[in-house]
Homo-oligomer: A and B are copies of this chain.
Amino acid sequence: MTKQKILVVDDEESLCEILKFNLEIAGFEVDTTFSAEKALKLSIKDYDLILLDIMMGKMSGIQMAQILKSKMETADIPIIFCTAKDTENDTIAGFNIGADDYITKPFSVREVIARVKSVLRRTSTDSNEKISVEYEKLKVDLIRKRCILDGEKVSLTKKEMEILILFLKNRGVIFSREDILRRIWKDDVVVLDRTIDVNITRLRKKIGKYGSHIVTRLGYGYGFEE
């Protein structure tokens, strides 16, 4: 089995070294960069997890995370934020980025490794390779390209299915209309925001009682809540 790759992005060089040293002992392959700008020049999609400092030079970790989450090929890479103080946790929550975890400085190396392993365990199964994604009695079979609700087949259109998959894979995450457009409509066509609303409405109707799990966050966008 090939090692899992971790990218550490932090402007404190010494901290990076410590993390690298210890994570490597724990069996990971580790690269480090000292700024978001440099990190973005790497082939980020090759990493299995990113440890990201929130407070850095010009570009904040938050900004970098938003960029990563907005791109198809990096959107599913788990990110663990490192925050200087507790108060910054609100910031993370407020930005509604798909933060997979966060950890408050100062932290023990042992703690970081535990978090890393936990997140990787959590995300490795429900990533690309899964054949279905489900919530209770609502299931999307990714190979058969169909949706099953209470054991009954529900006929979803491609767009509806893609939205549902996105939401089920990222429960709790609120996606802005812009996010959704980038990830489902891609860059090729330009459609109005209203179009998303209509597709959401149609999807809600088709998935019956689970329709109410697709929530609207006024001014932000949509997401799936448990």
Contacts and interface: CB of A to CB of B under 8 A. Distances in A.
A106 to B, nearest CB: 29
A37 B125 contact: yes
B144 A42 contact: no
A131 interface: yes
A104 interface: no
A1 B125 contact: no
Nearest to A221: B145
A83 interface: no
Contacts of A107: none
Interface in A149-203: 157-158, 172-174
A125 B58 contact: yes
Interface range on chain A (Cβ under 8 Å from partner) = 20 to 34
A217 B41 CA distance: 38
Interface string A198-226: 00000000000000000001111101010
A131 B60 CA distance: 11
A158 B157 CA distance: 32
A14 interface: no
A154 B94 CA distance: 21
Contacts of A146: 217
Closest A-B pairs by Cβ, 9 of them? A158-B219, A145-B174, A145-B220, A145-B217, A70-B143, A144-B172, A66-B131, A1-B41, A143-B173
